[in-house]
Chain A
């Protein structure tokens, strides 16, 4: 028995070791490739009598990119979080028909292809959109969606729902006793805010700020579409420009290296900033608040929710309508769309496979390891978060492009990196499910001596299909809509669907771009639903 068990453990150990090594190995290898190019460059610079540091500081553009990266990420994080506070409070306080629909809708930006969301934002906030018309009616002529403002709007669009959902959890996790007590004591809003809400916010805000900040630091598609001029370039985009515009591999390597160091630092800070809090079991009901029964409070909460829904919903609605109209006007160019959609599908399925091959063994490994060593198992997940795909892609590309044709490299590299990107999300979903199986059935499995195949069929599959389906759905949707590595290296004659859309945008064929956007979104959501509901099954819990 012990013999067999240890043999099993060993057999499990091989995929786990591989899954552990691959992400770390890729990061290390690409870092090494980047470093070797950069040191070459710096060595020649130093030969010219200029030390490394002054080289970096002297580079106006690099300095500017670094400042802009941090500025926009800070502003995006603060805006998203601050706006999320009243919104989450309003959603926690009020119960009304459609509330749960709104909450599910808040999950949509997560799987929506970024480039499609940008199309939507352009149609609302762009130079010919309604917001612009209102602004110019009031004499504000200078507003432009291109540049910092547009980037902030887009980042708030993506991160406000996220921040709101996390904060809402916080409100709902407050014990009902506290509310009852507050109402008995007749506490007014100010003291409720001070004694009940603030302690909860104080605990959660740093984590949310750090998370949004990190997401915005590595944001690529938004900056690619709305920024890019010399005034609005982040490091992530500067890597892209160094390769695409200047064909300067040394510069790309230097920037990628800088980006990885920056993200590693940020991840460290955010790990320190966010404390693990016990979310508890929320009943999902509205919070009982006698202090906010007044008409004014009701109206202001209603207004806040309506404005938020409009802010998030209008761009989507508009992109959808313009897309349908565009499709009606120009039809679907099957000769272009179909191969592009198939390429995207292939990349997406391959990235799902990568995600599974890495995250399943890692999740398995993490439940077998006890105590402090578990942190160690989290390492590959962190490595992926820390090395942004563009930087990682640039490193792998520099390593491989002398030997393999770029055309052959683009799609597999995209699939690999998309798959890796999905690993951290998958681990969050898969690890607790695995741990639960071990906790609830581990003993029985061992005592009854159930064969592995039967155990998988009877126990693992029914319990794992839900989180598996969800993580596959997320991986597939993210990969279908991805415009990162593929924008950098994708073959222009063989684009994926998001790249094709971006080409149409670049050629200013807006109607066609909106049409492609509708198709892209439909495919992404179809995949999500197919995996989440098809594989995951309906309401197993």
Chain B
């Protein structure tokens, strides 16, 4: 028994020394550019790996992605770390969070040329640089769902067994997108709409990945995602049965931004990365990995799977300065309606 006790003590000592060495051994000669991003961006099937290897080829640096969760959580993590953060860049800031990002005072202008960006709207900011965009939409499996709702109205009045999966607007950008979408369409009646939607919601997940995974496992008929999501199933799986429902009211837009932090100690590298992100190499990767529209790629170069996607009748987007107040109001309505 004494031997066992001794070995126990020895093990714990070894373990703690290893731990200490591990944390001490991170110092290396090449500079590391730390990029905070949301989890699906840096998953093995997301754009992260390709962008990392592409950028590292020429930068003489190491690119490290850190993914604390969905986009909102990632931004909040950065706010939590504040001026002590080791993040040089945030990738995946939602257009709806720009006002909050401004207020946080954590970001600084990028020294890059953004003239070549092609967006459905004007976007003059030099601090928050869009790298892709898309429309929120409900995605369904056309083999299983036959009577597809063509508007919010039809969704609300659909048969009772039609179930949907959505994300929490407080932690996830698609969730926030739907919140603002409904607010944009219905204004003061938004709370009524949520009350009517509530019985259809299987669960409110924290992030997009969880909801989409559950949808693919067949736990609901429709999931909140993007009009571009079906392109993934076409290109990667050769499946054409996943489709986005086109809603008559029009679809809310999302622009995804990247921004350099004021705390960044690698400003030059950071600028280089921003330029790379909206440059041809990364832009070519993004449509088939992040499954969003590129910001700087001629339509002729878009992948074939993007050809037949739903084109919304109307693009909806609130002014980013108005979002914080509207968001607060809409969030209270949402909480009120869904906590019943």
Residues of A within 8 A of B (CB): 60-61, 64, 127-128, 141, 144, 146-147, 228-231, 241, 243-247, 339, 342-343, 345-346, 349, 401-402, 404-407, 489, 492-493, 503, 505-508, 510, 530-531, 533-535, 537-538
Contact = CB atoms under 8 A, between A and B. Distances in A.
B43 A507 contact: yes
A525 to B, nearest CB: 14
Contact of B73 (A64, A127, A244, A508): A244
A245 B5 contact: no
B315 interface: no
Contact of B335 (A230, A404, A538): A230
Contacts of A506: 39, 69, 206-207, 209-210
A98 B72 CA distance: 51
A159 to B, nearest CB: 24
Interface string B61-96: 000101111001100110111101110000000000
A55 to B, nearest CB: 14
Contacts of A406: 80-81, 84
Contact of B76 (A247, A343, A507): A247
Contacts of B340: 231
Interface size range on B against A: 35 or more
13 contacts: A60-B336, A144-B203, A228-B204, A228-B206, A230-B338, A245-B171, A246-B170, A349-B15, A406-B80, A407-B86, A506-B206, A507-B209, A508-B209
Contacts, number: 128
Nearest to B166: A229
B168 A229 contact: yes
A229 B204 contact: yes
A492 B18 contact: no
A349 B76 contact: no
Contacts of A407: 81, 84, 86
B1 A401 contact: no
Given A230-B338, A230-B339, A531-B8, A508 B76 contact: no
Contacts of A229: 168, 203-204, 338
A475 to B, nearest CB: 13
A534 B8 contact: yes
A508 B214 contact: yes
Contacts of B332: 60-61
Nearest to A65: B339
A245 B335 CA distance: 14
Contacts of A343: 19
A245 B170 contact: yes
B276 to A, nearest CB: 22
B335 A535 contact: no
Interface in B3-28: 4-5, 7-8, 12, 15-16, 18-19, 22
A530 B66 contact: no
B249 to A, nearest CB: 24
Interface in B174-221: 202-204, 206-207, 209-210, 212-214, 217, 219
Contacts of B204: 228-230
A507 B203 CA distance: 16
Contact of A231 (B67, B73, B80, B339): B339
B334 interface: yes
Contact of A127 (B1, B15, B219): B219
A245 B73 contact: yes
A121 to B, nearest CB: 15
Contacts of B202: 144, 146
Contacts of B80: 243, 247, 401, 406, 489
A346 B16 contact: yes
A441 B7 CA distance: 31
Contacts of A231: 338-340
A144 B161 CA distance: 14
